[in-house]
Chain A
């Protein structure tokens, strides 16, 4: 069978535009070249715009995390140090001993507040400060003893924070961003010193403040932005990551091995594969709702720990725990983990499989001894990247029920939790400027953690590709 040969039909139209000659041709070529030049410039500009977006993002964060502040202290730290008979020029608040700090605290807070603090956590191992010995024994024997009965006593840094929070009470009355602080420092200091400003905020002093500092990283959450920190949130995030990895890594790799090495291309296995691809596109908030309905609510005895520890012994009274949230994140990154592990397994040459089987090894022996070791760097790289995604996820954690305010470090999978992205979300959502500043600082902490994870993945990938050459 031969196809009909197309016949070129000539009509009477003028096609000289399409096939110019002489000067017209030169002009057309010139125009096309110019268009080409413009296009190149426009494409490049668009690309630069994208990079500019990233740069602006980083600029905004750093700009918020450092800058000038006007601070008003209820009591100046120097006065406290001086009242204890030290030279304020040489001794700072942080140099005082635990006894001295407790003394300062006891002199400044009411007995009621003191008793509450002591019930939360004792000040000394051997003696009580606010509470009488008899009442203490009585309340500790009551059916619901306060946490202070079981916890170890506070350490010096903890009491220092209390003194800062309750006695010094630093109050940032206004903040400036980093760029303003560098370019306009004198103007800012003059403004704070001005009579008008001093009238509104008596005793306000200018201070350059790095919102991201060591105290910020090591302090627990606080209602006072100047004293708040992210320790609870960092520990919460680390706990979550541990649960997520323990769940998603073995299951993800196993599923990938099944799909790549065992599954025959039948209907069921194709369904599983399509399903995994679809799951990867489900919005993360939907996983949060799945976690809320199944893990938090239906499996409450399991996730609240009451199944293992007995009723009322769990740290949390409901299923909104690290375990539930970690498993939710695990389910969320599972599709990504499976897909990247599958790619790593697919990259292993078939000759390895054939060699193993030809030597009489069983399929699983071949996989375990031959294929997995070769594919492992690729699997690890993919898993770390998936984990980085889980670390930054916020929406599912909010839905599963992250605690809004929690100052106690998580102690296990059944603790209530907060996490870095949750902290960032809550602080960003508050209208006061200082909370925006600590949100920026917390973002920097999160980005540093993410950078570490990603760098690990890149190093793994590089080492792997070099050893293969």
Chain B
């Protein structure tokens, strides 16, 4: 290596001025950007560390955690399945509500609605999206549950049940499904539609046979994101779906009468975390570490879904851009 020295005479007017401020600013900007990485690392480390402490407890085994059907911390029973099951039931009901309503709204807005109608309906959906989830929780408990109980009978529907929470979460994620799906429908090239119209297709035929299939991966991504949102939703289930895990024994409890029954109470993963951490929790207790094991499960599920949805979106981009 050869080193070369360039001598610059002092006072040269063209000398590059040293600007320490510029460097400081740049460092601050970089640190701010890197903080997001630190947050992610923080989340992973915190969840993994406490979850590890949980699994190192002699009372806990990984196999019981994954396959056990009883979550009763008081008697050292730690099977996460009842919590996951309730989460899945709630999410399933939410998607049954949100997919048809959200997609139909999206198709109407992107293919049918005149600009004036759009200008009215878009803000309404935005309002729906901006209402805090705890308000939806109040709605589930004071409106949806009494409604379900009067329709299906007080004997069938418990005061706290997964159906009420699921339906209300479905309403909560309609705007999300609708706006993401609409973006996907909007991105379908005009020429596709015009070709179909040129062949004499009706609006409905264009929407369902041309635009919708062409936007399918974007629409799927929207649904996956909505599912991830529903799984992570907390306040509605904390208020409306009950504070007892739906523990059961395979073979003994009826599958449709109890285990999968939407009208029975069932605490979800998020609901359990909120209930346990609501009290004054002592650190290093098994209750404290157990919620981190649940949190880790929740984090992995939602992260997986988010990555999956990005895959769908990327596939969509490749096709048309």
Which residues of A come within 8 Å of B, CB atoms? 32-33, 35-36, 39-40, 42-44, 46-47, 49-51, 53-54, 56-57, 60-61, 64, 250-252, 254-255, 257-259, 262-263, 269, 271-272, 275-279, 281-290, 292-294, 297, 331, 334-335, 338, 362-364, 388-389, 391-395, 398-399, 401, 404, 421, 424-425, 428-429, 436, 439-440, 443, 446-447, 450, 454
Contacts and interface: CB of A to CB of B under 8 A. Distances in A.
Contacts of A43: 104-105, 107-108, 112
B30 A46 contact: no
Lowest 10 A-B CB distances belong to which pairs? Answer: A283-B232, A392-B132, A254-B32, A258-B29, A395-B234, A46-B104, A39-B204, A43-B108, A281-B306, A255-B32
Contacts of B298: 283, 285-286
B225 A281 contact: yes
Contacts of A289: 46-47, 273, 277, 291-292, 295
Given A43-B112, A262-B26, A283-B234, A392 B43 contact: no
B65 interface: no
A346 to B, nearest CB: 16
Contacts of B104: 42-43, 46-47
A428 B310 contact: no
B202 A36 contact: yes
Nearest to B113: A47
Given A282-B43, A282-B303, A285-B270, 11 more contacts: A36-B205, A43-B112, A46-B100, A50-B124, A60-B143, A257-B29, A285-B232, A285-B273, A285-B295, A404-B278, A421-B235
B19 interface: yes
A322 to B, nearest CB: 18
Contacts of A428: 134, 137-138, 141-142, 239
A395 B101 contact: no
A283 B231 contact: yes
B75 interface: no
A39 B206 CA distance: 12
Contacts of B101: 46, 49-50
Interface stretch (B33-41, B148-156, B211-219): B33-41
B84 interface: no
A29 to B, nearest CB: 9
Interface string B100-121: 1100110111001000000001
A334 B35 contact: yes
B320 interface: no
B124 A54 contact: yes
Given A61-B135, A251-B35, A446-B132, A54 B127 contact: yes
B69 interface: no
With a 10 A CB-CB cut-off, give which of B36, B131, B205, B228 has the most chain A CB atoms: B36
A279 B270 contact: no
B193 to A, nearest CB: 15
Interface residues of B, number: 85
B226 to A, nearest CB: 11
A128 B273 CA distance: 47
B93 to A, nearest CB: 15
B196 interface: no
Contact of A424 (B31, B135, B274): B135
Contact of B39 (A258, A331, A362, A439): A331
A364 B26 contact: yes
A294 B29 contact: no
B311 to A, nearest CB: 12
Interface of B: 19, 21-22, 25-26, 28-37, 39-40, 42-43, 46-47, 49-50, 100-101, 104-105, 107-109, 112, 121, 124-125, 127-128, 130-139, 141-143, 171, 174, 178, 202-205, 207-208, 225, 228-229, 231-235, 238-239, 270, 273-274, 277-278, 280, 283, 291-292, 295, 298-299, 302-303, 306-307, 310
With a 10 A CB-CB cut-off, give which of B124, B135, B232, B310 has the most chain A CB atoms: B135
B204 A338 contact: no
A47 to B, nearest CB: 5
A290 B139 contact: no
B134 A279 contact: no
B134 to A, nearest CB: 4
A83 to B, nearest CB: 41
Nearest to A33: B202
Contacts of B178: 50
Contacts of B143: 56-57, 60
A391 B231 CA distance: 21
Contact of A334 (B36, B47, B131): B36
B274 A278 contact: no
Contacts of B132: 391-394, 421, 446, 450
20 contacts: A33-B202, A36-B204, A36-B205, A43-B105, A43-B108, A64-B142, A254-B29, A258-B32, A258-B33, A281-B306, A284-B234, A285-B232, A292-B277, A392-B131, A392-B135, A398-B278, A425-B134, A436-B141, A443-B135, A446-B132
Nearest to B159: A431
A429 B19 CA distance: 58
